[in-house]
Amino acid sequence: MPKVRDFLTIEQALSRALEHLSDEDLQATKKKKITFRDYADPSKQDRNITLKDTIDLDIALMKKGKGHPLFDVYQSIMEKALEGQNLKPDVTKTLLNMGERVGKLMGVTEKAMEPSSPGGSLISPKEKENIYNAIKDLEEKITNLKSSIK
């Protein structure tokens, strides 16, 4: 029986990411899916994944509209480690980042509403997922800003 992965770990994020990727999707890494499964298995020895591989995995997932779970888990781990530090955010940088995410949300939504989009005049399930992911990214940034200025 496989070992249960801890919540909010790189292994957990990697395991979830692999559910959506094939060997073909992983070509940029020059590794097979089985190698990444070993990295995600807490019972295996020497299972350190490179930062470049995690970036390549998140890029492959983003191309499929599946978000960036490895980046999200890194961000969550860092935020948890800094809880209670009352670090002042760079508000200008944070607002610019939020503006970028608002722009992404607007672009994804506009594309989905175009009559020439895959769903035509209706929003397809894939387009809904892309809009939802863009909203989620924006909500996370807003929540982080709120919690950091308390």
Residue partners of 5: CB distance under 8 A and separation at least 6: 11, 12, 15, 40, 42
pLDDT digits (tens), the chain, 150 positions: 444 445 578 888 888 889 999 999 998 889 899 888 888 888 887 778 888 988 899 888 888 888 888 888 888 888 778 777 666 656 667 777 777 878 888 888 888 888 888 877 788 888 888 888 888 888 887 877 776 666
How far is Cα 63 from Cα 49, in angstroms, rounded to an integer? 21
CB count, 10 Å around CB of 100? 13
Q: Any idea which residue has 């002042």 for tokens?
A: 88
Residue 3 to residue 7: CA distance in whole angstroms:
12
Q: What is the Cα–Cα distance from 81 to 147, expressed in whole angstroms?
A: 14
38 vs 15: CA distance, rounded Å: 10
What six digits make up the tokens of 108?
Answer: 């994804």
DSSP of 29-89: GT--HHHHHHHH-TTSSS-PPPHHHHHHHHHHHHHTT---HHHHHHHHHHHHHTTT--PPP
- Concatenated DSSP letters of 123-134: PPHHHHHHHHHH
Query: Would you kindly state where each structural domain of the chain is located, as residue ranges?
Result: 10-81, 91-148
Does this model's pTM top 0.85? My answer is no
